[in-house]
Structure 1
Amino acid sequence: MGNLDFTSNAGFSWYCVLLVIDGLTMIVLGRLRGQSRSGLTLNLVLGIVFLCYGLYLTFGFRGGHYFVSYWALILPVVLITRTIRSSNGEKVRRREAAKRARYAELQEAQEAHAAEVEYRSPGK
């Protein structure tokens, strides 16, 4: 399958596989909601770059020199972690907003009930 040969050149083969997996993961995470526009763009662009480079090394590379960057292995982990944290932060913000809305509704209901009780008992 292309240049993947785990018996004679396992490091190169695993590098290609990891580039493709990282690229696909970043593209999928780039589609998640709750991210900033820049985070979404960064995930999508770098995901496409990693995916294309991994596919090129796997199927189009015919020998010679290739560029191995450890950032290609570290950066996806950093971006995935950041994406998950921002996604979790958005969930917490939504949950807190829902709690505040329920509390406000409860307060309004209590005030309406107190006003109704006061209206029905004018003798006090």
Structure 2
Amino acid sequence: MFFLIYTLLLMLSGIAMVVVGLAIKQQSTLARIASVVAGIAFFCYGFYLFFLFDGGEYRIFFYAFVLPILLIVQAVKARKQAQEEAAAQQVAGPPPGQFGYGQPAPQGQPQGQPGQPTV
């Protein structure tokens, strides 16, 4: 019974890591690659144990249950940080020296409403 649960959890952990690596784009490229590679390895080992293994000796990797949690937490933090930075940038407005839609402020001209004569 333990063997069955272990193999199913290995495959689910692998799928979760692959999904996180592919879905959350705010992570670094290295973190995304590591998540996908580890996820594929976990899934393949679980698949091997579940479908191809016919008895004998096998290894139980307890970090198979910790690593997905750590990678998912890291991915969620990266996504949250990216959202906070985008919100802070949106609130701050355009960088200094820019006027309107990325255009520099006009020099020496009165600033009134477009179409309104200045008095």
TM-score interval, normalised by the smaller of the two chains: 0.7 to 0.9
1:11-30 equivalence runs, <5 A? 11-30=2-21
CA RMSD of aligned residues (A): 2.5
* Ranges in structure 2 where 5+ consecutive residues have no aligned partner: none
Helix, strand or coil at the partner of 1:116: coil
1:98 aligns to 2:94 (yes or no): no
Deviations 1:32-76 (A, max 9, x none): 211101110110000000000010010011111101011111111
Counterpart in the other structure of 2:71: 79
Q: Which of 52, 56, 81 is 1:60 aligned to?
A: 52
* TM-score w.r.t. length of structure 1: 0.75
Q: Which has the higher helix share?
A: 1
Helix, strand or coil at the partner of 2:8: helix
* Ranges in structure 1 where 5+ consecutive residues have no aligned partner: 1-9
Helix, strand or coil at the partner of 2:57: coil
